[in-house]
Amino acid sequence: MTETIDLADVARRALPLVDLTNLNDDCTAEDITALCKRAVTAHGTVAAVCIYPQFVAQAVRELKGTGVRVATVVNFPAGGTETLDVVAETKKAVEDGADDIDLVMPYRAFMDGRKGFAEEQIIQVKAAIPAPAILKVILETGEIRDPLLIHMASQIAIGAGADFIKTSTGKVEVNATLEAAEIMLTAIEEARRDHQKNVGFKPAGGIRTVEEAGAYLALADRILGHNWVSAQTFRFGASGLLNALIGALDGTNASAGEGY
């Protein structure tokens, strides 16, 4: 009984933090309509939907008045697009109404020692996003792997203007892990302590159960304090997770199912 109450508490806390995601290669307009409907639940709304750029205008129309944000991805998923093209992609998404831009940092260039190139791309993309739209920078930690490099990538993204740093695209073998999350949350705490800069965190890819969500929330609480987590500072990038959260809140313990 105690476990059920705990799971419901975690689910209640996590549901408004979800960036409900469909980044499937075969995604259709009908899928976006279904996603937007899922974003508004009997237990409240998710934070955002996260979709490909070509669907932004549709999602903006379908979510009007709900308070659900529209997030999209650029330089996705490989992080290898030239900066001018990424900036153009970003500007088009913002014109279509995107609230959040999730940019894949040029992580392979970064790993090859081209840290300045990665930093400059983030700076230029940030400059193309007028407030109140925000920039989340995807580090692709499962590919970077090295803890010191993950910490450095976090620092570079934060210094270049990221409003959030995000673990993963969900498109590689290793996506969100608690180990990478701890490194990134520590970098966020360092930025807050040393520069009075508040940056958010988004674990993404492979988080499908209430227990897994609870582990990330507990980690954020430990590093940044119990009052830090909100939709302005913390998001889950997921699709299957929502079913598990609703199941916990309904008392049905529905499985997460498949998804990003």
Give the model confidence (pLDDT) of 193-226 as tens digits. Answer: 998 999 999 999 999 999 999 999 999 999 999 9
Residue 17 CA, distance from chain mean position: 10
d(CA 14, CA 222): 16
Report the relative pairing of strands 69-74 and 100-104 from DSSP bridges.
parallel
Q: What is the CATH number of domain 2-250?
A: 3.20.20.70
CA angle, residues 24, 27, 142, in degrees to nearest 5: 15
C-beta pairs of 91-94 under 8 Å, 24+ apart in sequence: 91/128, 92/53, 93/53, 93/56, 94/128, 94/129, 94/130, 94/133
Per-residue pLDDT for the chain (260 aa), expressed as one digit of tens each?
344 448 999 999 999 999 999 999 999 999 999 999 999 999 999 999 999 999 999 999 999 999 999 999 999 999 999 999 999 999 999 999 999 999 999 999 999 999 999 999 999 999 999 999 999 999 999 999 999 999 999 999 999 999 999 999 999 999 999 999 999 999 999 999 998 999 999 999 999 999 999 999 999 999 999 999 999 999 999 989 999 999 999 988 755 444 45
The span from the CA of 23 to the CA of 237, in Å, is 11
CB 180 within 8 A of CB 204: no
Block residue for tokens 């590093």 = 223
DSSP assignment of 60-86: HHHTTTT--EEEEEESTTTS-S-HHHH
Distant-in-sequence contacts of 159-163, Cβ < 8 A, 24+ apart: 159/119, 160/119, 160/120, 160/122, 160/123, 160/126, 161/122, 161/123, 161/126, 161/127, 161/135, 162/122, 162/126, 162/135, 162/136, 162/137, 162/199, 163/134, 163/135, 163/136, 163/199, 163/200
> From the DSSP assignment, how many helices (H) and strands (E) are in the chain?
11, 10
Cβ-contact 159, 193 below 8 angstroms: no
pLDDT of residue 257: 47
pLDDT of residue 174: 97
- Res 260: pLDDT: 52
Residues classed as catalytic = 102, 166, 202
Q: Which of 76, 66, 75, 61 is nearest to 23 (CA)?
A: 76
Q: What is the DSSP letter of 240?
A: T
pLDDT given for residue 252 in this prediction:
85
